Amino acid sequence: MTATAAAPAVTRWPLPTIPRTAEEVWAASYPDFVAMVNQTNVMPGAHATLSTWALHSRLDRHHHLLDVACTTGFTSRELARLTGCTATGFDLSADSVALARYNHQLLDPALNLTYHQADGTTYTSDHAFTHIAVGAALGFFPDPPAMARRLLNLLAPDGYILASPFWAPEALPDHAAAVRRDVFGITSPMENRDQALALFANLDVLHQADHTLTPESADAVDGHVIPQGPWSRNSPGPGCARG
């Protein structure tokens, strides 16, 4: 005879409002839209970047990671899965944080994950973190160098900063700068490579790699779902590179 297994807890969709019209979707900020569709919002490189970070920073179950601007929780959840680390994430968007918690419960509730709604410019913690993953999120803060300095105050001695920033070799064309500002809400100037690296100039570099982006053709992009909006399928993309 076998014991009856307990029924799994039902994980309920966490957002109280479900948009019914295109206008309601368009009214959402970028991070709230990410939450609305539960997008797996990732830094450049996604899983390849996580593996590189985990390897070069020797991340394991003894460590406590901070996931800065965690959106729906990809970085913290997948690094915890990969390494057994404990992780804390925060984001300004309450909806994104709700989805990070939802994804945790849905995908792997045994992981040791905690999420907070918080503004990174004032976020504090009663303990330091051995690892801080900031991905490409510094650019989302109004003053990226100031935010980079704040992160160092949250870092334990001999801790690691894990970053995967975008940069562009030259100024963005006006249409790309407008999308960056108006759609993604990024008000800081797009960094070039030197400026992106300078954000962490006082740290020892344990691993650094450059990756050149290869633009996809319009036909290739055609296979993806693209929201209707001020873009057309044939508009040139922002043409950013990433470090």
Ligand X SMILES: C[S@@+](CC[C@H](N)C(=O)[O-])C[C@H]1O[C@@H](n2cnc3c(N)ncnc32)[C@H](O)[C@@H]1O
In angstroms, what is the minimal distance from the CB of 164 to ligand X? 7
Nearer to ligand X, 57 or 75 (CB): 75
In the complex, residue closest to ligand X by CB? 135
Cα gap 52→31, rounded to integer Å: 26
Concatenated DSSP letters of 139-181: GGSSSHHHHHHHHHHTEEEEEEEEE--EE-SSPPPHHHHHHHH
Nearer to ligand X, 143 or 222 (CB): 143
In angstroms, what is the minimal distance from the CB of 180 to ligand X? 11
In angstroms, what is the minimal distance from the CB of 243 to ligand X? 13
Nearer to ligand X, 86 or 132 (CB): 132
In angstroms, what is the minimal distance from the CB of 22 to ligand X? 22
In angstroms, what is the minimal distance from the CB of 7 to ligand X? 33
Give me 3's structure tokens.
């014991």
Q: Which residues bind ligand X (CB under 6 A)?
A: 31, 41, 43, 69-71, 75, 91-93, 96, 119-121, 135-137, 140-141
Q: Answer whether 86's CB lies under 8 Å from 112's CB.
A: yes
* Residue 90 φ then ψ, to 5°: -140, 155
Cα gap 104→109, rounded to integer Å: 6
Cα gap 35→99, rounded to integer Å: 6
Nearer to ligand X, 57 or 93 (CB): 93
Using alpha carbons only, what angle is made at residue 228 by residues 216 and 137, rounded to the nearest 5 degrees?
65
Cα gap 219→230, rounded to integer Å: 19
Nearer to ligand X, 70 or 151 (CB): 70
Q: Answer whether 125's CB lies under 8 Å from 88's CB.
A: yes
Cα gap 171→167, rounded to integer Å: 10
Cα gap 97→204, rounded to integer Å: 32
Nearer to ligand X, 149 or 222 (CB): 149
Nearer to ligand X, 91 or 191 (CB): 91
In angstroms, what is the minimal distance from the CB of 119 to ligand X? 5
In angstroms, what is the minimal distance from the CB of 102 to ligand X? 15
